[in-house]
């Protein structure tokens, strides 16, 4: 599954990573809208071969505006598509499918960092149970318990493996963050076009003087 496949199922403007493909979907809708304007303004006739031909436009100015808008939107689309391809290439380089949000990635980092802690809790629960069942049990006898020793071995391995995997995922995140930052500014213009208009001093001045 790719990042685009994820957002087709659930768009997400808040997640740093999914925000970019979500904006790309919105861009496609905007491009289609401009293409619809051109079609609506087109004067079409059938030629001698029965093939439809565009003879002209009802409002040429409106069509020109739509065409310029499509060029601008396609430029932004190319930028976002390139960033998405880079992000998916990063996942591939780390041997992972590009099928998670930034939130999912953060959760996997936490899981790997906490895995040894979870085993430690199991060891503590087992020790309490053994002491409850055998109050006279000494500390050396408790530590020598086969089940506790087995869990301690797993905990030691988990500390090493969990830290190693967490570090690997953190490196992936560090590679993705600059792409997300670059894509976010483009995505904001697409997903929230009026937000920039409201915060633009020149635009605010123009609105006040209108």
Q: Could you report the per-residue pLDDT of 101-118, keeping only the tens digit for each?
A: 999 999 999 988 888 888
CA distance 58 to 41: 5
Count of helices and strands (H, E) across the chain: 8, 2
pLDDT of residue 53: 85
Q: Which of 2-16, 51-65, 154-168, 169-183 has the highest mean pLDDT?
A: 169-183
The answer to whether 129 and 108 have CB atoms below 8 angstroms apart is: no
Which residues in 66-100 are b (16+ Cβ under 10 Å) and which e? Answer: beeebeebeebbebbeebbeebbebbeeeeeebeb
The answer to whether 21 and 186 have CB atoms below 8 angstroms apart is: no
pLDDT digits (tens, 9 = 90+) for 3-45: 999 999 888 889 999 999 999 999 999 999 999 999 999 988 8
């Amino acid at each position: 599954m790719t990042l685009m496949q994820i957002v087709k199922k659930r768009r997400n403007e808040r997640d740093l990573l999914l925000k970019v493909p979500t904006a790309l979907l919105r861009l496609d809708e905007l491009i289609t809208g401009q293409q619809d304007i051109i079609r609506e303004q087109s004067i079409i006739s059938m030629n001698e071969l029965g093939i439809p031909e565009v003879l002209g436009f009802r409002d040429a100015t409106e069509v020109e505006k739509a065409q310029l808008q499509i060029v601008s939107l396609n430029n932004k689309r190319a930028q976002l598509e390139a960033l998405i391809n880079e992000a998916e290439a990063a996942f591939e380089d780390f041997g992972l499918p590009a099928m998670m949000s930034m939130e999912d990635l953060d959760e996997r980092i936490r899981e790997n960092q906490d895995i040894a802690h979870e085993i430690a809790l199991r060891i503590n629960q087992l020790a309490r149970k053994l002491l409850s069942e055998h109050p006279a049990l000494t500390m050396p006898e408790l530590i020598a318990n086969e089940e506790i020793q087995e869990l301690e071995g797993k905990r030691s391995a988990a500390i090493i493996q969990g830290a190693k995997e967490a570090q690997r995922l953190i490196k992936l995140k560090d590679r993705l963050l600059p792409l997300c930052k670059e894509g976010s500014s483009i995505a904001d213009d697409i997903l929230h076009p009026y937000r920039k208009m409201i915060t633009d001093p020149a635009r605010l001045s123009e609105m006040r003087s209108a």
